[in-house]
């Protein structure tokens, strides 16, 4: 049987762990923004040309450096998050990290279609939502852009790509350069 003292000790430990987790998540968000800011400066000022022996020929080559090892999509995501939320909306870092990074990523395409004032209001309103409420609000406010889905078939190990025609401009076979699908754009 658990005594009152043991129960209180467990509650205190649980609270400390919870507090440490919250702090780590906010620090992680700050790091995403610092990484985005730093990558942006390296890219924009082409300082990668001066790194290592002889420098790197391109930002892409710099990202592929074993010491950095970022996939370009990840690096550009960090840059976009920094550019949009910090530079464009002029939100304070402390305010941005109140919203989990995965939510900021999901909101980004829709917010770019809004005015800055509307975007700031949306970000502020989405800070304290549970995951369920966040998903619900995204759907109700039509803020989530539909995205293609890529997954592996369990039986064959081959990829399956599902999409709505409004989502994709072109699908190309990389081996043959054959265009498998191309959206017809009418003006």
E strand residue ranges, 115-158: 149-152
pLDDT attached to residue 72: 87
Report pTM: 0.73
**Residue 170, SS3?**
strand
Per-residue model confidence as pLDDT tens digits over 58-114? 898 899 888 888 888 889 999 999 999 999 999 999 999 888 888 898 899 889 989
Q: How far apart are CA 118 and CA 113, in angstroms?
A: 10
Per-residue model confidence as pLDDT tens digits over 8-39? 999 999 999 999 998 998 899 899 999 999 99
Question: What's the number of CA atoms in the CB half-sphere (13 Å) around residue 94?
Answer: 0
Q: Within 10 A of 156 (CB to CB), how many other CB atoms are there?
A: 8
Cβ(91)–Cβ(120) below 8 Å:
yes
> Which residue, among 46, 78, 48, 77, has the nearest Cα to 64 in the 3D structure?
48
Per-residue model confidence as pLDDT tens digits over 72-85? 888 999 999 999 99
């Amino acid at each position: 049987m658990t005594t009152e003292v043991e129960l209180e000790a467990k509650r205190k430990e649980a609270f400390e762990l919870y507090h440490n987790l919250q702090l780590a998540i906010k620090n992680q968000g700050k790091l995403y923004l610092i990484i985005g800011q730093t990558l942006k400066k390296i890219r924009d000022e082409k300082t990668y040309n001066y790194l290592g022996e002889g420098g790197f020929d391109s930002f892409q080559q710099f990202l592929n450096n074993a010491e950095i090892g970022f996939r370009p999509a990840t690096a550009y995501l960090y840059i976009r998050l920094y550019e949009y939320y910090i530079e464009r909306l002029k939100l304070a870092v402390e305010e941005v990290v109140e919203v989990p990074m995965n939510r900021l990523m999901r909101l980004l395409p829709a917010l770019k279609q809004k005015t800055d004032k509307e975007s700031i209001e949306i970000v502020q309103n989405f800070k304290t939502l549970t995951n369920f409420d966040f998903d619900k609000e995204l759907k109700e406010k039509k803020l989530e852009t539909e995205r293609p889905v890529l997954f592996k078939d369990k039986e064959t190990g081959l990829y399956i790509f599902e999409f709505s025609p409004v989502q994709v401009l072109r699908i190309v076979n990389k081996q043959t350069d054959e265009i498998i699908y191309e959206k017809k754009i009418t003006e």
